[in-house]
Structures are given as structure tokens and as C-alpha cells.
Amino acid sequence: MCASVKYGSRGPALIPRMKTKHRIYYITLFSVVLLGLIATGMFQFWPHSIESSAEWSLDRRSVHDAPLVRIPMSSPIPERGDLSCRMHTCFDVYRCGYNPKNKIKVYIYPLQRFVDEVGVPISSTGLSREYNDLLSAISDSDFYTDDVSRACLFIPSIDVLNQNSLRIRETAQALAMLPRWDKGMNHLLFNMLPGGPPDYNTALDVPRDRALLAGGGFSTWTYRQGYDVSIPVYSPLSAEVDLPERQPGPRRYFILSSQTAIHREYRVELERLKEENGEALLLLDKCSNLSQGLASVRKRCYKGQVYDYPQILQESSFCVVLRGARLGQATLSDVLQAGCVPVIMADSYILPFSEVLDWKRASVVIPEEKLPEMYTILKSIPHRQVEEMQRQARWFWEAYFSSMKAIGMTTLQIINDRIYPYAARTYEEWNNPPVVKWTSVNSPLFLPLIPPRSPGFTAVVLTYDRIESLFRVITEISKVPSLAKLLVVWNNQNKSPPEGYKCSMISEGLTSFFFLSRSECINKFASVFGTMPLKVVEHRADPVLYKDDFPEKLKSFPNIGSL
């Protein structure tokens, strides 16, 4: 095909030398190729060229346009997730390769609509708004590649965020039908609501071979440490409600419980706590008189009094996040957004992003058993720590919980850090809120070392043109026993400075102009640094015995301070 096109372009020059038979042959060939091309062009671009005349052209894509795929009954089902999977056993690292940017490449399968043999879709919701947000965030990020052969990680477009809306067997079959599935190697699934009635497993029940699972609600028994990623359960309220950040500090209530579906046993215990401690606790439940739906989600009630949710969360220092049927609760996200310190009571729960986030600085984890002791435990936490936790909670929400994009990017970054551990983000980068990042000091020389005298020191002398004083400095400094090397930086491009200028420098060097320009420098530098990094102290270091009434010859540094 390619060759014939080449010939074609050179056709006119070649043809005269050919026989008529050949000429006809070529003309026919051309016509065929031409017609073929026109046909292909029509087929490929026809619908779009029509759409392009409309205002929103390509954007008016609909999920219903996605190709329909029928899953045969006998289609293979992947194996259940292998609990012993780790990055070095179940992940093909060769696909990621070495790259100077240390960034993995992520491929997203194009959207398909999977149906079973009789045409019933595998999921009752299809593509959810959240999963769509997640995938478009990934496709807009630096991780994305459309080149399937260069990809290191594959993300199916099959939405498994909520297991309840899935048909387990068919979803599994659909996964196995993905062209690059290969036993689930390097595939990443996102799931926030795992398990189903009656016993609610803590990981997605869909068989998935070796695929990695980013799951919300792992327990220590289903979480494969260093392989799976524990993610939060996204709260759709995050996008609905704008809660402005509140300064850390004491709040109206000490403990707030806002969850609606708390088990009876626990509600009884909470009520007992409320009796003991009165006004410090606020126990909210859903409002009985309101209809279902969004309106009821935004309201909470206590004895007929109605409160706005999630705004009420900002009125409390601590907010209870109790396990429900599942370990992961969307409430956690609301609580963090409100800058309320979560009191997490969900035994064996793997906290979201616990691989990188230091939850001890943002939350209190209490065993379910100790619910009755909650009040005393929380009272023992110092105020300063509570304030720091409030700030940290809000920062965790902003950086890692606030949107599906944040959740997706954090998940990919965690996996990226595992593949390129030497380029991984540090504890400080993950955990320090911007305020701390600005004010904290992380010295590059952090180890308390008292270096020995033996290597001595290197003297660096900057000189412009004052040769005499330079020589004086050199002679003086070379008397010092611990001097190892002396480096003179000649900072003068015009070799010979004018005579007599030296003296004027000495006398006029310290004029008011000189100081003025230096204070301008200080202001300039401070504005570049954002803050004033210099610190004022009132002490200076002197030798022990400095100017003490003590025989001079017995002092280590006798000459210092003598005039």
C-alpha cells in the first residue's frame, strides 16, 4: 500500500516509459486507492464533521456512545485477589522502566459498556460522576499516557467504586476481557464502598487476579501492605458545601457525634457519656420529619432542634467517626473539612493513605471497646496539641481528601513512590501543612556532630584591590595552626586598580551610603525569602574564662579581647 502511493507520486515521470497495459493498470490502482481513501475518510470523520458544525462539537460526548461489549456466559473469571501479592511478586516493574523524571505512565482504557448475554449491564449506575472525575483528572495529569505500550499502570474504565451497584461475576469477567489484563498485572482498581450484606467484606469482592486495589475501608486482614493503597471514602458533600477554614482553637462543643447510622449498642454508650458530661457532648441523629434525599443529608437533629450539616461540625473540637457496616466512613472527610479532630473508632481499619500520612498528628484512634472512656481520653490531650490536630486535619482534607482528583493523584503518587523509592516524597512533604513548611527549619546538616580539629578549616579571602591588607590578612591567618588551606578570590576584572584609591576605601568604606545600600539589600532579600530568616540573639560566644581574672598564660585563647 505504502509502496504504491510512493510510485503514484512519481507516476507522471515513470509512465511514459511504460507500456499502455501498465499505464491502465496504474490508473486503475490509483482510482482504487483513491476511492478507498475517500471511503475511509468518510467512515472515520463523517459523524464528527457533522458535529463540528455545532457549537460544542466534540464535548457532546455521551456515555451512551461508548461501544457495547457483550460478555459471553462462559467468559473466564479472574482468580480471587492473592493475599500474598507484593510489588516484587505481582507487579511487572519492567513495564515502568528507568526514566529520568521518575514518573510512572498511566493508561486509561477507553470507555466501554459491558452487558451480559441478554443485554443487562454489569452495573446499575454505569459510570458514576466521581469515577468520571477521577479518570479525567488522571488523564489531565502528568501521569497520563495514551500509548498503551509505554504504560506502567493500567486503569480500567469499569467503575467499581461502589460494590452494591455491581454484578460481581459479570464485572470480573469484564475485567478479564480487557486487552492488556494479563492476570491483572499492573492494573489499578478504585473502590470506595466494598462488601455487601450481610457481612460486608472489607475489600472489593470482585475477583481481580493480581490487580492492585485502591480501597476505602480495608481492614488489617485484607490490606496487602505495600501493595494496595488505602483511600478515603469520598464525601460528595465536599463539592456541595464550602466550609471556610476556621482558626484552630476551643469550640462550643467538646465532642460531636453526627453520624446517622450508629449501631444501637454504640448509641446507648454515647448517650450514657452524654448524661455524664452534659453540654460538652452533642449527639445528633437524622431528622425524622424530613423527607429522604439531599435535604435530609444536610440536616441533623437533636430533640427536635435542627442543625445544619456539615456546618455544625465546625462547632466542635472532636468529632466521632464510628464504624458502620463498613470500616471506611464518608463522615471522616466531612469532619476533616470542618477542621474538627476525628476520633476514629473502627478496629483493624487501615486509615486512608496511612502509608504516607502520619495520622497521629491529625486524629485520635480509640479502640471500639474503649468508647465509654472516650471523654477521659480526649480530656487528657493538651490544648496546644488539639489546635495542631485541628490544623493538620484541615490540611489533610485540602491536600488529599477534597476532590476525586486529590484522591486519585495521591494514590498514583504513592504507587509512584514505591516504584522509584529513591525519588519518593518525604515525610515532611506529605505531612507538613504550608504554614509549617514556611516556618520550619530543616537544616541540611542535621546530625549533631562535633567535628575533630584535625581536618582544620579553609580560609576564603575575597579581595578586590587592597593588596596590602590582603597580605596582612594572609600573614595573620596563616599563623593559625588549624588552617588547612587558604583560598584567595580575586574579584577584580580590571587588573590594576588606581593608586590612592585604597586609602579612600578604608576611610569612606563605612559611610552612611554604604549602610543605606546594605539595608536595602536586607529588605530585598527578606521579600524574596517571604519572611525574615535572620534571627536576633543577645548572646555571643566567647572562650570560657574570657576576660576572667585568671593568669593569661593559662587561657586557651589568651589574645582574644585584649586591645
Residues 6 or more apart whose CB falls under 8 angstroms from that of 537 comprise: none
Q: Which of 2, 278, 422, 495 binds other proteins (CB under 8 A)?
A: 422
- Can you tell me which residue has the cell 420529619? 289
140 vs 63, 106, 399, CA distance in Å? 19, 11, 18
10 Å Cβ neighbour count for 8? 15
In the bound state with other proteins, the residue whose beta carbon lies nearer, of 45 and 471, is: 45
Q: Which of 6, 22, 47, 52 binds other proteins (CB under 8 A)?
A: 52
Q: Are 118 and 388 in contact (CB under 8 A)?
A: no
Rounded distance between C-alpha atoms, residue 23 and residue 173, angstroms: 55
Rounded distance between C-alpha atoms, residue 231 and residue 469, angstroms: 66
Q: Which of 436, 461, 470, 474 binds other proteins (CB under 8 A)?
A: 436
User: Would you state the cell numbers that stand for residue 371, as one nine-digit string?
Assistant: 468508647
Residues 139-178 that bind other proteins (CB under 8 A): 139-140, 144-147, 159, 161-162, 164-165
In the bound state with other proteins, the residue whose beta carbon lies nearer, of 102 and 463, is: 102
Single out the segment in contact with other proteins by CB under 8 A; choices: 71-79, 244-252, 439-447, 468-476.
Answer: 439-447
162 beta partners: 193
Residues 6 or more apart whose CB falls under 8 angstroms from that of 75 comprise: 173, 176, 177
Q: How many residues bind other proteins (CB under 8 A)?
A: 156
Residues 315-374 that bind other proteins (CB under 8 A): 323-326, 330, 347-348, 358, 360-361, 364-369
Write down the least CB distance from residue 513 to other proteins, Å: 24
In the bound state with other proteins, the residue whose beta carbon lies nearer, of 276 and 548, is: 548
Write down the least CB distance from residue 365 to other proteins, Å: 6
Q: Does 84 bind other proteins (CB under 8 A)?
A: yes
Write down the least CB distance from residue 161 to other proteins, Å: 4
Rounded distance between C-alpha atoms, residue 527 and residue 222, angstroms: 51
Single out the segment in contact with other proteins by CB under 8 A; choices: 261-269, 274-282, 499-507, 520-528.
Answer: 261-269
DSSP string, 484-538: EEEEEEE--SSSSPPTTHHHHHHHHTT-HHHHHHHHHHHHHHHHHHSS------S
Q: Are 341 and 386 in contact (CB under 8 A)?
A: yes
Residues 282-301 that bind other proteins (CB under 8 A): 292-294, 296-297
Residues 511-550 that bind other proteins (CB under 8 A): 537-550
In the bound state with other proteins, the residue whose beta carbon lies nearer, of 40 and 492, is: 40
Query: Phi and psi (nearest 5°) for 139?
Result: -70, -20
Write down the least CB distance from residue 360 to other proteins, Å: 4
In the bound state with other proteins, the residue whose beta carbon lies nearer, of 176 and 407, is: 407
In the bound state with other proteins, the residue whose beta carbon lies nearer, of 443 and 496, is: 443
Write b or e for each residue in 326-361: b if 16 or more Cβ atoms lie within 10 A of its Cβ, otherwise e.
bbbbbbbbbbbbbbbbbbbbbeebbbbbebbbebeb
231 vs 134, 136, 333, 366, CA distance in Å? 13, 18, 11, 20
Single out the segment in contact with other proteins by CB under 8 A; choices: 197-205, 393-401, 475-483, 509-517.
Answer: 197-205
Q: Does 451 bind other proteins (CB under 8 A)?
A: yes
Residues 18-37 that bind other proteins (CB under 8 A): 23, 26-27, 30-31, 33-34, 37
The DSSP element (H or E) to which 364 belongs, if any, is strand 364-365
Please name the residue ranges forming H helices in 399-511.
Answer: 404-419, 427-431, 434-439, 467-477, 501-508
In the bound state with other proteins, the residue whose beta carbon lies nearer, of 305 and 385, is: 385
Single out the segment in contact with other proteins by CB under 8 A; choices: 15-23, 73-81, 472-480, 516-524.
Answer: 15-23
Between the two ends of the chain, the Cα-to-Cα distance in Å is 96
Q: Does 132 bind other proteins (CB under 8 A)?
A: yes
Write down the least CB distance from residue 554 to other proteins, Å: 8
In the bound state with other proteins, the residue whose beta carbon lies nearer, of 93 and 489, is: 93
Q: Does 60 bind other proteins (CB under 8 A)?
A: yes
Residues 484-513 that bind other proteins (CB under 8 A): none
In the bound state with other proteins, the residue whose beta carbon lies nearer, of 140 and 276, is: 140
